[in-house]
């Protein structure tokens, strides 16, 4: 399979959660025998903080402007099996137009920020990475968030076939490591500053720090404001590249996960930090949200808190209990939440609609007039344009289905 991706970034993990996810997925796809081409606009912000110039398993195409990227993008999309546009892609509208006008590849939109997308739509705000006509032209819409968000993507944006593709972790990168003295603490928190996380951070991290002055609390991340309410026993480690995450997690018996406001409100949206920390062998203390128990069992594989008192209680647990939770979480993560597992799921989803998720008749694409298009698995009727291309695509998808079954079985 050849997959072409138009995304935010894979080369810089600074201030975003996209890059680390794509690095793991692309490496897994490459090892499963697929080819990935990733188009990333070379913006100064990420260029200054680029921490991976040659990602494994992907042909990275950095480009200065869409006009300069367009000829290469057309060539790569022309013989691709699937072409995918993501949320926060700086050229999302133009890339979507290119993908939707192409007759060969399966057009896919992957929203890695579904709660943010839907929150803006409810508020009547413009979402700059969405095509003006919504998502009805795509054969498939993937969502980092599951649950009720899937139906709302259909209702608000006209998505016809929607499937969740949750976060994951690369266990070769995120694995148990030796602690580092400068990272050591009793409770750690790794995350970019976000105003909509501050209330929970105050309640579950800063307040416990004030109540437990004899313990050490460590924050790692970027973009924290100068007026952030640091305490005498709260230590700060500026942005850590993914390679340093294992040592950071290993240096505290317990690490805190805080979900962004829109994601917590919608539920079914696990942060990549959950899987990363668990894969590194750290016990996680998390805020609560609907669907959390789909990924980890509270009390056995993860600790949860809704108040300062509950956070303090978690910090008072015997070390043996905290380590037991950490071991159970790592076991669950390696079984269900690895990049290899998600890559196999992704290929299986691309293989075609499941019986429980039929693909309705599509709307015309830009430039196709009123001609109806066949589904991504069914050859077009003789009267439809692009019939031969769609027959070819259907055959490729059936081949993928067989491949994904083998890969999934091999990795089980």
pLDDT digit string, tens, across residues 369-378: 332 233 332 2
* pLDDT of residue 357 exceeding 90: no
The total domain count for the chain is 2
Q: 3-class SS at 57?
A: coil
Res. 274: pLDDT tops 70: yes
The verdict on residue 405 lying in a domain is yes
Same domain for 130 and 10, yes or no, is yes
Phi, psi of 398 (to 5 degrees): -65, -35
- Do 151 and 188 belong together in one domain? no
Q: How crowded is residue 257: how many other Cβ atoms within 10 Å of its Cβ?
A: 24
Residue pointed to by tokens 């709660």: 115
Q: Does residue 407 have a pLDDT over 50?
A: no
Q: How confident is residue 353, by pLDDT bands cut at 50, 70 and 90?
A: low
What is each CA distance from 123 to 116, 117, 118, in whole angstroms? Answer: 11, 10, 9
Q: Is residue 141 part of a domain?
A: yes
Q: What is the pLDDT of residue 246?
A: 97
pLDDT value, residue 318: 98
Please check whether residue 103 is in contact with residue 389, taking contact to mean a CB–CB distance below 8 angstroms. yes
- Residue 251 CA to residue 237 CA, distance in Å, equals 13
173 occurs within a structural domain:
no
Query: Is 174 inside a domain boundary?
Result: no
Shared-domain flag, residues 252 and 375: no
Expressed as residue numbers, the domain containing 138 is: 2-168+340-411
Please give the residue that has the higher pLDDT: either 395 or 352: 352
Instruction: Identify whether residues 285 and 328 lie together within a single domain.
Output: yes
**Percent of the chain, pLDDT > 70?**
85
Kindly give the interhelix angle for 18-31 and 339-350, rounded to the nearest 10 degrees: 70
Whether residue 356 sits in one domain with residue 295: no
Cα–Cα separations (whole angstroms), residue 118 to 122, 137, 243, 291, 402: 6, 18, 33, 18, 35
pLDDT tens, 120-142?
999 999 999 999 999 999 999 99
Domain with 193 in it: what CATH number?
3.40.50.2000
Q: What is the mean pLDDT of residues 1-15?
A: 95
**What value does the mean pLDDT of the chain take?**
87
Separation between Cα atoms, residue 208 and residue 318, nearest integer Å: 17
State how far the alpha carbon of 340 is from the alpha carbons of 29, 53, 333, 398, 411, in Å. Answer: 8, 22, 12, 21, 7
Tell me the whole-structure pTM to 2 decimals: 0.83
The answer to whether residue 18 sits within a structural domain is yes
State which of 290, 317, 337 marks the end of a domain: 337
Domain boundary among 309, 337, 365: 337
Q: Which of 280, 287, 286, 289 is nearest to 326 (CA)?
A: 280
Over the stretch 243-267, which tens digit does the pLDDT of each residue have?
A: 999 999 999 999 999 999 999 999 9
Give the mean pLDDT of 226-230. 95
**Per-residue pLDDT at 351:** 86
Q: Which residues of 155-180 are buried (b: 16+ CB within 10 A; e: fewer)?
A: eebebbbbbbbbbbbbbebbbebebe
* Residue 7 shares a structural domain with residue 137: yes
User: Last residue of a domain, which of 319, 337, 355?
Assistant: 337
| Domain co-membership, 378 together with 263 | no
Q: Does residue 372 share a domain with residue 333?
A: no
The two tokens of residue 173 are: 């990168």
pLDDT band at 15 (very low <50, low <70, confident <90, very high): confident
Tokens read off for 340: 């290899």
d(CA 345, CA 353): 13
**Same structural domain for residues 161 and 256?**
no
How many helices and strands in the chain, by DSSP H and E? 15, 13
Q: Is residue 243 located within the same domain as residue 117?
A: no
Minimum mean pLDDT among 235-249, 342-356, 394-408: which range? 394-408
Domain co-membership, 69 together with 150:
yes
Measure the CA–CA gap between 347 and 315, rounded to whole angstroms: 41
Token pair in block for residue 140? 């498939």
Q: What is the pLDDT of residue 14?
A: 87
pLDDT greater than 80 at residue 392: no
Q: Based on the domain organization, do 42 and 134 belong to the same domain?
A: yes
């Amino acid at each position: 399979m050849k997959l072409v991706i138009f995304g935010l970034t894979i080369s810089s993990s600074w201030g975003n959660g996209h890059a680390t996810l794509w690095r793991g997925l692309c490496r897994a796809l490459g090892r499963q025998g697929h080819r990935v081409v990733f188009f990333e606009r070379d913006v100064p912000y990420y260029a200054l903080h680029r921490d991976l110039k040659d990602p494994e398993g992907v042909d990275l195409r950095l480009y200065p402007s869409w006009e300069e990227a367009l000829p290469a993008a057309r060539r790569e999309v022309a013989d691709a099996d699937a072409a995918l546009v993501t949320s926060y892609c700086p050229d999302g509208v133009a890339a979507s137009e290119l993908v939707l006008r192409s007759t060969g590849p399966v057009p896919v939109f992957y929203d890695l920020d579904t709660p943010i997308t839907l929150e803006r739509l409810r508020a009547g705000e413009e979402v700059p990475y969405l095509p003006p006509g919504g998502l009805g032209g795509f054969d498939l819409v993937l969502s980092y968030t599951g649950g009720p968000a899937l139906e709302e993507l259909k209702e608000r944006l006209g998505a016809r076939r929607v499937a969740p593709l949750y976060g994951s972790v690369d266990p070769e990168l995120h694995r148990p490591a030796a602690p580092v003295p400068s990272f050591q603490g009793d409770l750690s928190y790794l995350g970019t500053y976000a105003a909509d996380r501050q209330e929970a951070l105050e309640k579950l991290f800063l307040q416990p720090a004030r109540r437990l002055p004899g313990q050490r609390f460590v924050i790692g991340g970027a973009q924290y404001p100068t007026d952030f309410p640091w305490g005498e026993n709260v230590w700060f480690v500026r942005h850590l590249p993914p390679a340093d995450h294992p040592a950071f997690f290993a240096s505290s018996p317990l690490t805190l996960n805080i979900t962004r406001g829109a994601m917590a409100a919608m539920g079914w949206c696990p942060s990549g930090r959950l899987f990363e920390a668990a894969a590194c062998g750290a016990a996680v203390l998390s805020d609560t949200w609907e669907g959390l128990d789909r990924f980890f069992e509270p009390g056995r594989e993860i600790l949860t808190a809704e108040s300062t008192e509950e956070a303090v209680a978690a910090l008072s647990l015997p070390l043996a209990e905290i380590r037991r939770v950490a071991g159970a979480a790592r076991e669950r993560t390696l079984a269900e939440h690895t990049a290899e597992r998600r890559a196999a799921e992704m290929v299986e989803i691309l293989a075609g609609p499941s019986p429980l998720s039929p693909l309705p008749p599509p709307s015309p694409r830009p430039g196709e007039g009123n001609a109806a298009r066949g589904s991504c698995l069914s050859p077009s009727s003789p009267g439809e344009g692009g019939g031969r291309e769609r027959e070819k695509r259907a055959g490729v998808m059936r081949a993928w289905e067989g491949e994904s079954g083998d890969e999934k079985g091999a990795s089980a």
